[in-house]
Amino acid sequence: MLIRAAGLICAVRPHGEHGAVVRLLTAEHGLRHGYVRGGRSRRLRPVLMPGNGVAAELRARTDTQLAALTVELLESRAPLHGEPMAAAAIDWATALTAIALPEAQPYPRLYAALGGLLAAIEAAPSARLWAGALARYELLLLAELGFGLDLARCAATGAGADLVYVSPRSGQAVSRAAGEPYAARLLPLPGFLLAGGEADWPALLDGFRLTGFFLARDLLGGAREAVLDARERLLARLRRLAGP
């Protein structure tokens, strides 16, 4: 096996005395992992950081063998790991990607979306300007893995307008008129998840509440649940920014 591709570093764990096993997302080859010799060295530690873009080469004699991985830095986001809010967002987005995606299946839309999200975190002066992109990334990941929400029409009436709730049971949108009597049992559907664009803090937190419910229920149960701690740390920071 020989793969040469651009990739986004998603997870790094020590392996042996000096090496590291790295998981990275590529556009054409999906999520891949490989062993980087000397990956814990002073030279490579700044390269092997979640969120960095690299040119990767994976070599293995068989598909079942742990590939040898070499990387060349293309885009460094290492400085962002010194900023608590940006670091928390990168840690969550990359950890979610690393644990949720199956190995070696291409998800080009997710690759592009993750790259765009990381660029937004790097460029935006305020967390409110990239928080919506993160919530939409979570929504896209659910859809790409077969757990997509049906947000096109109301589950009760079939109407396509004024959709403000989601049924936690079916994952289908519900209109304001149909959902008001049951609002306490429904999840809020903020408009930015449908129309894009910026959103205020209450809408952003509603968006994370919605995606978080389905991530926890459908995707991150069992042993994968521990990764949600990274999400909760990020949300705690966002709630403090949002204020009372």
pLDDT in tens, 9-23: 999 999 988 999 999
Residue spans of beta strands (DSSP E) within 176-233: 187-188
**Residue 244's pLDDT band (cuts 50, 70, 90):** confident
Contacts of 27 (CB under 8 A, 6+ apart): 5, 6, 106, 108, 111, 112
Range name among 24-28, 90-94, 217-221 with the lowest pLDDT average = 217-221
Per the DSSP assignment, residues forming a β-bridge with 173 are 166
**Residue 36's pLDDT band (cuts 50, 70, 90):** very high
Question: Would you tell me the crossing angle of helices 228-242 and 201-214 to the nearest 10 degrees?
Answer: 160
Sign of CA dihedral 107, 88, 99, 185: negative
Q: How far apart are CA 23 and CA 78, in angstroms?
A: 17
What b-and-e string marks burial along 36-59, b requiring 16 or more CB atoms within 10 Å of the CB?
beebbeeebeebbbbbbbbebbbe
Quick check: 23 and 32 in contact, CB under 8 A? yes
Which has more pLDDT, 65 or 38? Answer: 38
Q: Quick check: 63 pLDDT over 80?
A: no
Q: Quick check: 64 pLDDT over 80?
A: no
Q: What is the pLDDT of residues 157-193, one digit of tens each?
A: 999 999 999 999 999 999 999 999 999 999 999 999 9
Contacts of 24 (CB under 8 A, 6+ apart): 7, 8, 9, 10, 31, 32, 33, 54, 56
Q: How far apart are CA 154 and CA 179, in angstroms?
A: 9
**Percent of residues, the chain, with pLDDT higher than 90:** 89
Q: Quick check: 243 pLDDT over 80?
A: yes
Set out the domains of the chain in order of their start, with CATH numbers.
2-76 (2.40.50.140), 80-151+189-242 (1.20.1440)
Average model confidence (pLDDT) across the chain: 95
pLDDT at 237: 95
